[in-house]
A and B are shown apart, each in its own frame.
Chain A
Amino acid sequence: MGNVTSAVLVLIERCGKGGFEPLSLQCLELGRRVAGELGAKLTATLLGREVRSAAEELRHYGVDGVGVAEHPALDAYNPEAWAAALLRVIHQLQPRLVLMGDTPTAADLAPRVAFALGAGLVTDCVNIEVDAGEPLFTKPIFSGNAMAVYASSTGVTLATLRSGSDDAAARREQAAGDITEVEVEIRPGQAPVECVESIWEEEDGVSLGQAAVVVSGGRGIGGAEGFALLSALARILGGAVGASKPAVDCGWITPAAQVGQTGTVVAPSLYIAVGISGAMQHLSGMLASKVIVAINKSPDAPIFGIADYGVTGKYEEVIPAFTDAIAQWRA
C-alpha cells in the first residue's frame, strides 16, 4: 500500500448548464481506479465563484473528499487566476497525481500549473495504470501511429485525459467525503495579460466536440458543394459536420471542422465517415465513437476495418437518399 495521505486529485469542470463536464466524470472514474491501486485517496476539486452546492453534489460520486476554492475571479476560466487557485489547492492537499479532462481549459491550465510546480505533465492520456506502485501514462504519439507509455520522475505529476477513455463516474444515493475549503488570494491586475473585451460565443449549431452525431467528409467529397449534402444530413440528425485534414487543406470547409489527432478529437454515439479512406491521424481522433458508419467509393478503404456499417458507392447518391429516409420518419 502507498502512503495513505497521498491523494489523486481530479479537477472537475462544469458545463454551461451547471452540471459536471462529462469528461470530468470520466476522470473521476479513472482517478478512483488509480487511487485504489496506489492506496491513495480520491479527492475532487472545484474552482469557481460559488461552488459549495456543486461540491455537495460531488460527494455523491464516490470521492473521499472535495477541495473547493471560491473567489469572484474564478467565475469563468481565467488562465492566471485559475492557475493560482489550482496551485493553492495542490499545495494544501499535496496530491501525487492531478487529473483533468483534455479540454480547452486544461490545454492552457495544465501546463501553467505543471511548469510552476516543476512537475511532469502528460497530455492526452488514454489510460493510466499502476505498475509496482508507479503510475504509467499511455498516450498516442506520431498522430496516433504509435502509443507511448511514460513514467514521471517528479513528486507530483499532472495528466489530462482524452474523452471517451473511460466511462463516467455514476451518481450514488450515498454521499461521502469532507469538503475542504482552500483560501485563494488573487489580486486584480496581477496578471500581465489584460482582457480588454470578452465575447461569449453563441453556439453556432452543435459544437463538434460535444455533438452526439458527427457527419464527416474527406478528400472523396471532391468539393465544397458536397459538404452541403453532409450539412443537410447533420442538421436532420441534430449533429455537427466534421472533416478530414485533406478536405480542410483543399479549402472545402473551415479548419475548425477538422476531426483527428491534429484537429478535434470526438467520441459521438454515431460517426458517419464519408469519402474518408482513414489515415491513422484521422482514425485516432474518432475511434472511440460508439457506432461508426463508413461510406466510400473504394471497397478497400481502411476505414471499413474499423466501421460497424459500410456502404460502397457514390456518396452523391447515397447521402440524399439516406437523409430523405430519415426525414420521412422524423416528419
Chain B
Amino acid sequence: MPANRFNAFTDYGVGIGLRIPHYQHIFEKKPVVDWFEIISENFMCDGGRPLEMLDRILEQYRVVQHGVSMYFGSAEKCNREHLKKLKRLVKRTNTPWLSDHLCWGSVDGRYTHDLLPMPYTFAAAKVTARKIRETQDFLEVPIAVENVSSYAEFHVSEMTEWEFLNEVVERADCGILLDVNNIYVSSFNHNFDPFVYLNSIPAERVAQIHIAGHSKYRKYILDTHDHPVIDPVWKLYARALQLAGKTATLLEWDDHIPSFDEVHHEALKANQFIQQSDTVTT
C-alpha cells in the first residue's frame, strides 16, 4: 500500500547515486542495489557511451531521475526543448517519479549551473508552482521538489523556507524530495531549528528522502556531498521517517567519491532507521 498519494514507492528501499567511477564495479560484480538515482542532465544527450551505460544499468536495476537544471523558481518560462529532451529520457528510464530542486539558476537564457536560493515570496511561489505543474503535465510523471542548501537569504522574503515549501507544493500539488542534510546545512547557515522545519512540512507529500555529507567551516557549512552522513543528520532522517513513514531514501556522494562498497555501506545504514520506523508504525 502506498503511504500516501505522493509516496507510492514505500518499498523502494535505499538507493545510491549512479556515478561513473562505479560503473566497472557495477557491471562486473552486479551488486544488489535497491535502485539508482541518475542525474538526468548527464543522460540528456543524443547518443554515445552515456546512453549505452544507462541502458546496461536499466537492464538490471531500477532507476529514478533527479535533475539539476529545471530551475522551477526561475522567472523565465519553461524551456520546451529542454522538456522534450527530458521526456525522451523519462520514456527511456521509465522513472516512477522525477525530482528537481526548489531553486532558480538561470535568467534571460543564461545559466549559472548552480542551485540558487529563492526569495520566499508569494510571487515566487506562484511562478514556481505554475512551472512545476506545467512540467508535470508535460512529462506525465509525478514530480517531487527538493529543498536546497542555501547560504544567503533575501530581505524581500515574506515567509520562512518551510512555509515557502508548503506554499509551492500545495499550489503545484506535487511531492517533496526531502533532503534532511540540506535542512541541517541551511539551519546552521540561517540560524533556525531544523526540527521546526521538519515538523512543519506536509509529511503526506514526502515522496523521497536524500541524505548526504557536507563540509563544515567556522562560519558556514557547504553542501559538498563528499563525506559520510553525520549523526545530527541521521537524527533528522529518523524524525522524517517518523513523520512520513517508510520512504524511498538515497545517499548522495558526488565528490571525492570512495569505492562503491563504501558508498553503498554508508547508504545501507539508513535501513536500521527504516526498520525502526516500520516497527513504530506497525
The answer to whether A and B belong to the same complex is: no
